[in-house]
Chains A and B, each alone.
Chain A
Amino acid sequence: MEMTKGLVAILLTAILTQNFVLSKFLGICPFLGVSKKLNTAVGMSAAVIFVMALSTAVTYPINLFLESKDLAYLQTIVFILVIAALVQLVEIILKKYIPALYSALGIYLPLITTNCAVLGVVILNVDNGYGFAQSMFNSVGAGLGFMLAMVMFAGVRERMESCDIPKFMRGLPITLVAASLVSVSFLGFTGIVENIFG
């Protein structure tokens, strides 16, 4: 019971209070770049959740091996290579065996290789000393949080299309200010997880 409580707390923290995009600033490039349309936003974030969970599952045993051999300083270089190779592999497998999924997620996969959110979640899992279950929950939570932020922001941006914006704020500046307001709304979740799970 205590264990599941801890896992749910990790999941909720990753989605709400420590949202990857809005409070940790990881994965800002896709957040600002791919959030123009709702369906691209959903597709991208689904691919991110998938890759995050998969790379956590793969890097966890690798990290155990590195630590047992006293090679922990190789983490960065090994993780980025493993993630890059993994994404390529997944792309090839999906293309061959599950073309339907490939046509939905495939185009986003290469983008994700150099996405700081994926490497970030893997490194954070190690830094926090999470076990396997905790790591998986944290990764899925981070991915879901990414999706929540993307979908919300895509909605905000669709409305902004028809707004009359002062000339000097048009384009990127107003997008960033809108992101700031979405981020303020997430500040409202501060403390909620601690209050529920004490």
Chain B
Amino acid sequence: MAEKKSLFKEFSKGIVIENPVLRLVLGTCPTLATTTSVRSALGMGLAASIVLVCSNIVISALRKVIPSKVRIPAYIVVIAAFVTIVQMLVKAFTPELDEQLGVYLPLIVVNCIILGRAEAFAGKNPVLASAVDGLGMGVGFTAALFLMGTVREVLGAGSFLGMSIPVLSQNPMLIFILPPGGFFVFGMLMACVNRLAEHRGKPRAELRGCEACPMAATCKLHSEETPAEPQEKEATA
């Protein structure tokens, strides 16, 4: 029973408390780029979730075989293999989605969420827990993209999932589906989430840049920037 409870915890943390997009601020590129419509946002979320779950399973199954020195390249190969499979499936079964996602579909390889989960969780935990963790993170990612996509499509195109909404579709605010709208909606969403988090006494979501980056361990910029952080915080406070 205790084990079941902890598995549920692994699953649910990815949806709200550690939502990859809104709390950990990872995977911002697809979040901004593919949320021009609800359909492409959901497609991106699903594709990334499939890759996330599969690669988490394989990486955690291989965690004792992969030498820690070459683990990052090894993880990248596993992830790239699954991305290729997903890419072929999308091309074969939903060619219109492939057209909408375009270059962002192969770019799931460099999505920080996937490499980040491999490094932070799957490389250290058993297979079942890793699969559940990947599923939770995937659902959280998809939910965040769905939220962004809904706001942008409703305001920017006056429709939802391609169905036009009576009043809004008369004068849609085009700017919301253009690139600036992406930045703006994401900024506002982050402001709301930060406000909610503060109400509950949780820390605000910040761009942690280096700490969240899976390459942090191998990167010298990280060790150089860390001492500078406290000074800046004093200046803003």
A residues at B contact (CB < 8 Å)? 22-29, 32-34, 36, 73-77, 80-81, 84, 106-108, 110-111, 113-116, 119-120, 123-124, 127, 161, 168-177, 179-181, 183-184, 186-187
Contact = CB atoms under 8 A, between A and B. Distances in A.
Contact of B110 (A81, A114, A124, A186): A114
B84 A176 contact: no
B61 interface: no
Contacts of B210: 33
A123 B106 contact: yes
A5 B184 CA distance: 36
A29 B215 CA distance: 13
Given A107-B224, A110-B215, A116-B110, A180 B183 contact: yes
A3 B195 CA distance: 54
A7 to B, nearest CB: 21
A81 B76 contact: yes
Contacts of B103: 120, 123-124, 127
Nearest to A44: B221
A176 B115 contact: no
Nearest to A185: B180
A175 B207 contact: yes
A172 B32 CA distance: 14
A129 to B, nearest CB: 14
Interface in B188-206: 188, 190-191, 194-195, 198, 204-206
